[in-house]
Structure 1
Amino acid sequence: MTKPPVPPFTRDSAIEKVRLAEDAWNTRDPERVALAYTQDSRWRNRSTFLQGRAQIVDFLRAKWEREHEYRLIKELWAHGSDRIAVRFAYEWRSAAGQWFRAYGNENWRFDDEGLMAERHASINDVAIDESERRFFWDRSAPRPAEHPGLSELGL
């Protein structure tokens, strides 16, 4: 299976890959998201270590069961021939009604078919008031092109 764009990445293809990842994660569909990773993909997500699509699906399913109203924005930080670094933020609401914004960085490594073989994520959550939310778009669709990115929002 090939998942374009594939390495070697240019600035434009890296930006496209980041946006495709953002769009997929915003679907909150664990099976769809997992298809972007190799069968034996290795993850570090905060202090959780995973390997393989089945573990990724289980992890994402549990994540999105507790993170309501999830909306994510990713932004290219740097890239190499088969690697991409992103910074991101996402907003979500707990079952108790508390809003959070999570800030993080990810380092990705891809195989020749454009599947992510490694994902290393460092993430911090900050409680915010609902009035501090900045990510607004219809959750059933990708982030509109006119919605500001992280840099435009000053985040």
Structure 2
Amino acid sequence: MSRPPLPPFSHDDAVIKVRKAEDAWNGKNPEAIALAYSEDSRWRNRAEIFSGRPAIIEFLTRKWQRELDYRLIKEIWAHSDTRIAVRFAYEWQDDAGQWYRAYGNENWEFDEEGLMKARHASINDKPIKESERLFHWPSGPRPVDHPGLTELGL
């Protein structure tokens, strides 16, 4: 099973890969998302370190049980033949109604089939007021005409 675009990545390929990842995560379907990762994919997400698709599914399921009304924007930072670095921000609220904006960076490494074999994420959560929210599209992928991180001043 391959997940185009495949390495080696051009800039345009890397931009497409980033947007596909953003759209998938905004869909919040852990089983579908896990298919973009190699079966033995290694993750570091904040202080959690794990590997394998079952662990990815468990992590994402738990994540979206806690992070409600999740909206994500990713933006390419840099790339090489097999690696892509992104910066991102996402907004979510907890079950008490407190909104947060999470800021972070991810480093991705891909195998020859275009599956992500390593994901290293550094993330910080900042409490925000509902009036400070910037991501207002309906649940699911970000509309094509919605501004990105740079345009939003993030």
Identity across the alignment (%) = 66
Which 4+ stretches in 1 moved above 3 angstroms? Answer: none
Which runs of 5 or more structure 2 residues have no equivalent in the other structure?
A: none
TM-score w.r.t. the length of structure 1 is 0.98
Give the whole-Å Cα distance in 2 for the aligned partners of 1:117 and 1:59.
16
The gaps in structure 1 that reach 5 residues or longer are: none
Q: Within 5 Å, which residues of 2 pair with 1:140-151?
A: 141-151=140-150
Match for 1:25: what amino acid?
W
Q: Distance in 2 between matches of 1:95 and 1:138?
A: 19
Matches within 5 A, 1:21-100: 21-100=21-100
- Per-residue displacement from partner, 1:15-67 (whole Å, max 9, x unpaired)? 00000000000011100110000000000000000100000000000000011
Matched AA of 1:147: H
* Residue identity in the other structure for 1:17: K
In structure 2, C-alpha distance between the alignment counterparts of 1:135 and 1:83, rounded to whole Å: 28
TM-score, structure 2 as length reference? 0.99
Q: 2:17 corresponds to which residue? A: 17
CA RMSD of aligned residues (A): 0.5
